[in-house]
Structure 1
Amino acid sequence: MLCALGSALCYGTASVLQAIAAKAAEPGSGSGVDTALLLRALRQWRYLLGLALDGCGFALQIVALRSLPIYVVGAALAASLAVTALVASRLLHMRLSAVEWGAVGTVCAGLAMLGLAAGAEGDRPGSTALGWSLLGVAVAVLLVGALAGGLPNRSRALVLGLGAGAGFGVVEVAVRLIDSIALPEVLANPALYALLLGGAAAFLLLTSAFSRGSVTVATAGLVLGETVGPAVVGVVWLGDHTRAGLAWLAVLGFAVAVAGALALARFGEP
């Protein structure tokens, strides 16, 4: 649980540091994918520190996913928006309303309930069929991204956000299906390719969503996509469970944490 919370802390802080670096860089072409802007941002220590925190966050996420149910880790990662909101309020001078302060407290309460109710990770081995299914979902995410380009702005942002969330969800589940990183076994595991393609597709869709639509709507879609689906897969197919008699508390905690994150969706913009 400490690793899951540490991952959220790393991701949430990295977002703000990278936003500061991007704002300080000279404006580029205005394109949603501006390579020149990225290169200028990479010259700043805040952006590099943000990337380092992203790397630490991913490593902590992997450790957490190997020890905790997916629904706990997913909710903790959604809580990175609360971290972003708090850090942005100090460093970017973005003011939190009374409702948003309440949402931060709601996220913390939800995570506390999850921490009390969560059992160990599921003991069912992931099947090869599930690995191939994940790869299929990753391909579908790319196709959805291509088709969503013709939608109106608001609908496009929501669809792209949900697609990006699904891609990150593929990564969460795929980590559980990779039991060995020894060659050549890992190269024959479809979950490895699902992880790589799902992560890459998620970044592409999220970039497009942020550049061509409402950031708040896209972030809300992202939170839903990366929490609900993977949580269901973990419970149904991988045997994730709660402590005896505390299933109701886990469901309540998950719902409360995700609802709090959705209330903070506007802080996805940094």
Structure 2
Amino acid sequence: MVVGLLSAFAAAALYGCGTIVQAIGVRRAGAAEVEGLWARVWAGRLYAYGLVLDGLGFVASLVALRTLPLFVVESAVASSVAITAGLAVLLLGARLSRREILAQVGVGLGLVALAVSAHPGRAAPLTGTGPWVLLGSVLPVGVLGAVALRRPGPTGAAVLAATAGLGFGGVGIAARVVEVPTTLWRLVLDPVPWALVAFSLIAMSAYGLALQRGSVTTVAAVTFTAETVVPAAIGLLWLGDRVRPGAGPIALLGFVLTLGGSIVLARHAAEDAPEQATEPGD
């Protein structure tokens, strides 16, 4: 369980750093259109660095999901926005209000509550048509993203963020239930790994597009809410995720504190984060 918890917290830190770096890269890419070739190359490198951090965070979350319930790992990933807010203070000169400082504390306490209340263990395996249902659920998520592309402005960004959240949630579910066989051909014929890949592609594409259209913190709030609530419910209802005996109220409190604090912090700097992100050196 210790390895799982450390991996979950590492995923949060890596995702939080990746969000800041990607946001800077996306916005510098727009400015680079008039600044020349080297400006465009540098903007692309920044975004690529953010993707690398996201990739490392993804690997860390996969490790955590092998032994921890979805409601713990997804909540930890959602808390990465607290890392983002902290980095905005350190690197971009942002300031946290008293409410946002309390939200930071709430996220920390919530993660501790989730850590002590979670019952470690593997997920219940999907049987029968379960793996195919998981793969089939990729389609409606993809359709939602396609619809969002036709909606301009903040509304389209919010729907794209929701698509990304559902996609990342699907990745978490698939990673939680996937069974690694002894032979490669069995893995190729298993629909669960294909669902994991498809959800990953949808989620990363939708998240990048959402960042281009809306505030990074608002996009993060919608994404992390969808990414956390839906998989947590599915894990508890169908995948055998459990809390320790008598620790249900602690787990619920931890979930609410973590998600609520993350949403408060994701809303932080909705007005000033994009402008600051374009000039991180100031």
**TM-score, normalization: structure 2?**
0.83
Aligned partner of 2:280 in structure 1 is none
Amino acid corresponding to residue 113 of structure 1 in structure 2:
A
2-structure distance, mates of 1:146, 1:37: 31
SS of 1:264's partner is helix
1:29 shift after superposition: 4.3
Q: Does 2:40 correspond to 1:71?
A: no
Alignment of 1:49-60 (within 5 A): 50-60=50-60
- Give the alignment's Cα RMSD to 1 decimal: 2.6
**1:69: how far off?**
0.2
Whether contact under 8 Å (2:26, 2:212) holds in the other structure is no
1:100 matched to which residue of 2?
100
Give the aligned partner of residue 170 of structure 1: 170
Distance in structure 2 (CA, Å) of the matches to 1:221 and 1:207: 14
Which residue of 1 is the match for residue 248 of structure 2? Answer: 247
Deviation (angstroms), 1:71: 0.4
How far residue 206 of structure 1 moved from its aligned partner, in angstroms, is 1.9
Which residue matches 1:40?
42
Q: Does 1:130 align with 2:130?
A: yes
Q: What is the deviation of 1:178?
A: 1.7
Alpha-carbon distance, 1:214 to partner: 4.6
Judge which range, 74-83 or 228-237, deviates more: 228-237
C-alpha separation in 1, matches of 2:124 and 2:203: 27
Structure 2 residue aligned with 1:234: 235
Q: 5 Å matches for 1:141-220?
A: 141-151=141-151, 153-180=153-180, 182-220=183-221
Say whether 1:13 aligns with 2:17.
yes
- Offset at 1:102? 1.3
Structure 2 unmatched ranges of 5 or more = 278-282
Q: Which region of structure 1 is more displaced relative to structure 2, 135-144 or 207-216? A: 207-216
Which piece of structure 1 moves more, 110-119 or 6-15?
6-15
Partner of 1:33: none
Change (3 A) 1:137 1:214: farther
Aligned AA (2:89) = S
**Counterpart Cα distance in 2 of 1:57 and 1:115:** 19
Q: 1:232 to 1:13 in 2, by over 3 A?
A: same
CA distance in 2, matches of 1:22, 1:79: 22
Which letter maps to 1:255? V
Letter in 2 for 1:259: G
Distance change (3 Å), C-alpha of 1:156 and 1:78: same
Secondary structure in 2 matching 1:184: helix
**C-alpha distance in structure 2 between counterparts of 1:53 and 1:160, whole Å:** 21
Are the counterparts in 2 of residues 8 and 80 from structure 1 also a CA contact under 8 Å? yes
Report the equivalent of 2:111: 111
TM superposition score normalised by structure 1: 0.87
% identical aligned pairs: 38
1:212 maps to a residue whose letter is: R
Deviations 1:57-82 (A, max 9, x none): 22211110001000000000000000
Who is 2:261 aligned against? 260
Aligned length: 263
